[in-house]
């Protein structure tokens, strides 16, 4: 009996020690990734103040960039997801109200965060889709910042986006690819095509609004990076859209319905994209019809 007790104690101590060592290793590796700093270009983007530019920025915020999904329509931020042991995702309060960034952020801070996904201290932002917004032209980025600058103050204090224990494990193992800076190409702003219903402008809108993020670089859809219960992304190439008409495409983004009447999953932010102008939706349609047909899931 005494021998069995000694073996049991040895087993418990050994397992506990291994668990503690594993926890320390996970914390150290995840902390290294979270504390890693990134050098980014110091882009000088002119931030206008005229009404037309601010209106353009509002449109980018609500429709093209769908910033309102995470930061709320009023820019005061929102708790986007509480994933328990995985962590918390919150869109920051961008206004000058209590809990907001607007009172301390410079134009350079906004450019660095939006275009490169990097904080003032050089560490990476989490979830912020800078790998998409890096394609914004200097003019559009300046207009977006101009709109954020004039947002009325909103008093809203939110929890910081953070990783929980399981989130740190997934981050340490490379299974949670939501650190922004390391996957953001330093595009330094695309030259925006003329805002007209054209293939070129449609390509710009698709890049700046993140179509390729979920639907793949070839827009063929399939598995989306993230939790396993996410819906499959649709094939947006001519092979996937098949007999869709332009009117079908517009209806899908404006009403969230496919040609057969079935509902589009809310994970696809069609409500935001549906606020694009008729000219922008036509440009997107022309671009989608111009890409090579691909089998679903070949990305």
* pLDDT for 229 beyond 80: no
* Distance separating alpha carbons of residues 60 and 259, to the nearest angstrom: 27
* pLDDT for 19 beyond 60: no
What are the tens digits of pLDDT across the range 78-99?
A: 998 888 898 899 999 999 999 9
User: Based on the domain organization, do 208 and 168 belong to the same domain?
Assistant: no
Q: What is the pLDDT of residue 185?
A: 81
Dihedrals phi, psi of 90, to nearest 5 degrees: -130, 135
Please report which helix (H) or strand (E) contains residue 89, including its range.
Answer: strand 87-91
* pLDDT for 51 beyond 60: yes
CB 110 within 8 A of CB 18: no
User: Based on the domain organization, do 80 and 130 belong to the same domain?
Assistant: yes
| 8 within domain boundaries | no
- Domain containing 216 equals 199-290
- Specify the CATH number for the domain of residue 219: 1.10.760
* Distance separating alpha carbons of residues 25 and 19, to the nearest angstrom: 10
Q: What is the pLDDT of residue 136?
A: 93
Please report which helix (H) or strand (E) contains residue 115, including its range.
Answer: helix 107-116
Give the least confident one: 49-53, 118-122, 228-232.
Answer: 228-232
| 122 within domain boundaries | yes
CB 183 within 8 A of CB 260: no
Any idea which residue has 């793949």 for tokens? 216
- Ramachandran region of residue 226, left (φ > 0), alpha (ψ -120 to 50) or beta? left
User: Based on the domain organization, do 164 and 229 belong to the same domain?
Assistant: no
Closest CA to 99 of 69, 74, 129: 74
What are the tens digits of pLDDT across the range 109-133?
A: 999 999 999 999 999 999 888 988 9
- Ramachandran region of residue 81, left (φ > 0), alpha (ψ -120 to 50) or beta? beta
Domain stops at, among 149, 183, 217:
183
Residues in Cβ contact with 241 at an 8 Å cutoff, skipping those fewer than 6 apart? 235, 249, 288, 289
| 35 within domain boundaries | no
User: Based on the domain organization, do 70 and 147 belong to the same domain?
Assistant: yes
| 279 within domain boundaries | yes
Torsion sign, CA atoms 147, 149, 150, 154? positive
Domain count for the chain: 2
């Amino acid at each position: 009996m005494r021998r069995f007790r000694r073996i049991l104690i040895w087993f418990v101590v050994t397992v506990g020690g291994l668990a503690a060592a594993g926890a320390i290793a996970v914390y150290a590796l995840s902390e290294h990734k979270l504390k890693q700093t990134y050098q980014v270009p110091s882009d000088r983007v002119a931030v206008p103040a005229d009404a037309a530019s601010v209106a353009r920025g509002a449109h980018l915020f609500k429709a093209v960039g769908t910033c309102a999904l995470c930061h709320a329509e009023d820019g005061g931020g929102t708790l986007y997801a509480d994933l328990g042991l995985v962590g918390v995702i919150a869109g920051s309060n961008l206004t000058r109200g209590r809990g907001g960034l607007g009172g301390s952020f410079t134009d350079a801070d906004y450019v660095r965060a939006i275009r490169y996904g990097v904080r003032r201290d050089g560490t990476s932002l989490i979830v912020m889709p800078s790998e998409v917004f890096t394609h914004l032209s200097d003019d559009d980025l300046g207009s977006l910042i101009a709109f954020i600058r004039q947002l009325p103050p909103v008093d809203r204090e939110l929890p910081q986006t953070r990783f929980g224990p399981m989130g740190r494990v997934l981050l340490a193992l490379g299974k949670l690819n939501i650190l922004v800076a390391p996957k953001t190409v330093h595009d330094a702003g695309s030259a925006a095509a003329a805002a007209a219903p054209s293939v070129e402008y449609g390509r710009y809108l698709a890049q700046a609004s993140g179509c390729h993020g979920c639907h793949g670089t070839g827009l063929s859809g399939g598995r989306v990076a993230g939790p396993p219960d996410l819906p499959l992304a649709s094939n947006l190439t001519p092979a996937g859209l098949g007999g869709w008409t332009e009117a079908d495409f517009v209806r899908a983004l404006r009403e969230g319905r496919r040609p057969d009447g079935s509902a589009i999953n809310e994970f696809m932010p069609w409500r935001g994209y549906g606020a694009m102008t008729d000219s922008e939706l036509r440009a997107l349609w022309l671009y989608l019809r111009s890409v090579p047909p691909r089998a679903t899931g070949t990305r």
